[in-house]
């Protein structure tokens, strides 16, 4: 039996009270080697060891809090295996088929792997049937096959949701965010927000010091910020429509001068939302600049990090290259620009006609102004 204590020194604290480690038994018939990795609190992964699998292998590992570790094949036809190990974990078994079991946490991991393999097998079998169809007279059969797939996908998704609701405080639940059906994730934060936040709350209470939990906290916070931002954008897209007062906010010129857009100063103006990387925006604005003076135009750019390496330079270069007149303002906020949030920008280009501080037109084509 091999102990991983020394090799996991960064994870095993000197104050650890667990007298004996958790045993992991491999009953695999294949031989080879694994890289063993764990997740850091910032979401990155660290390889902490490599293991040789020679047959009837038993390894011992110790953690003072819940931790998920992954066995990733380096050599041989070995299955990918994930395990949840903590101070109360006693003995886990990885069967010859690669399914882990031993407690509620790891039984759920084994079930998830079975679900994924069954899904792959179903898709392969349906694809095999589809490949025998040669003419359009079989359309009804194809439709039936698609119905089978969609019904299975719905059941697959509901099985995962049922587990998350029934037992939110399982670290093994975190693997469900990686499940996909085709190209689509099984779970989507915008749709399953309450369930995922419930899992986050339960895990934070259960194992607040776990790297996996801390990384999930960060993941949820990032998606929550996006959710709130997106909801605000959608709300303001409806709010700032024709007949509404144009909002007031402050932005900077390319030279760094802070300018306040005041509603009553917009007597007869066109406000354009654009970016240096938006080809359609630049084509339209370039045409306007060639044909009309732009003295009454205010061009609000959503250039910014992290989408661009040098947003200020790219913004200014586009203004000069396209010979765009008017007043140019931005916060260089990129996809989180106050311009997007305040004006509810959901498409580009976007133009506002503002008269005496009131929006009289909100259109996506300059010809509609």
**Tens digit of each residue's pLDDT (9 = 90 or more) over 152-188:** 999 999 999 999 999 999 999 999 999 999 889 999 9
For range 104-120, the mean pLDDT: 96
Alpha carbon 8 to chain centroid distance? Answer: 30
Domains and CATH numbers, the chain: 2-102 (2.60.40), 106-234 (no CATH), 249-368 (3.40.30.10)
Instruction: Please give the Cα distance from 333 to 347 (Å, whole number).
Output: 16
pLDDT at 45 over 90: yes
Sheet holding 45-53, edge to edge: 45-53, 32-39, 67-75, 81-85
Phi-psi bin for 17: left (phi > 0), alpha (psi -120 to 50), beta?
alpha
For residue 12, name the pLDDT band (cuts at 50, 70, 90): very low
Dihedral in degrees, nearest 10, Cα atoms 312, 318, 319, 323: 160
pLDDT for residue 6: 33
pLDDT digits (tens, 9 = 90+) for 230-257: 999 999 999 999 999 999 989 999 999 9
């Amino acid at each position: 039996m091999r102990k991983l204590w020394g090799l996991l020194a960064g994870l095993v604290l000197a104050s650890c009270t667990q007298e004996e480690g958790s045993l992991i038994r491999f009953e695999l018939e294949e031989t080879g080697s694994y890289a063993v990795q764990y997740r850091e609190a910032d979401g990155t992964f660290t390889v902490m060891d490599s293991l040789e699998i020679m047959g009837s292998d038993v390894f011992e590992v110790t953690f003072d809090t819940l931790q998920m570790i992954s066995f990733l094949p380096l050599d041989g036809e070995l299955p990918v295996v994930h395990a949840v190990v903590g101070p109360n974990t006693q003995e886990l078994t990885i069967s010859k088929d690669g399914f882990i079991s031993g407690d509620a946490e790891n039984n759920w991991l084994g079930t998830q792997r079975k679900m994924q393999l069954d899904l792959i097998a179903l898709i392969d079998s349906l694809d095999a049937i589809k490949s025998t169809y040669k003419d359009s007279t079989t359309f009804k059969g194809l439709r039936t096959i698609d119905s089978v797939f969609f019904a299975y996908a719905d059941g697959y998704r509901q099985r995962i949701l049922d587990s998350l609701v029934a037992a939110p405080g399982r670290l093994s639940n975190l693997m469900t965010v990686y499940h996909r059906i085709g190209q689509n994730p099984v779970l989507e934060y915008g749709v399953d927000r309450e369930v995922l936040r419930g899992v986050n709350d339960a895990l934070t209470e259960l194992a607040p010091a776990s790297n996996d939990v801390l990384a999930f906290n960060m993941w949820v916070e990032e998606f929550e910020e996006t959710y709130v931002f997106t909801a605000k954008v959608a709300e303001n897209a409806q709010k700032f429509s024709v007949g509404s007062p144009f909002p007031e906010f402050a932005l900077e010129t390319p030279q760094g001068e802070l300018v306040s857009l005041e509603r009553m100063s917009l007597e007869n103006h066109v406000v354009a939302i654009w970016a240096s990387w938006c080809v359609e925006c630049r084509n339209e604005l370039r045409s306007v600049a060639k044909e009309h003076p732009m003295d009454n135009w205010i061009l609000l750019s959503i250039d910014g990090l992290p989408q661009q390496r040098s947003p200020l330079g790219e913004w200014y270069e586009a203004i000069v290259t396209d010979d765009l007149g008017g007043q140019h303002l931005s916060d260089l906020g990129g996809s989180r620009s106050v311009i997007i949030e305040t004006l509810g920008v959901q498409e580009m280009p976007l133009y506002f006609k503002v008269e005496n501080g009131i929006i009289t037109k909100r259109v996506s084509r300059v010809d509609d102004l």
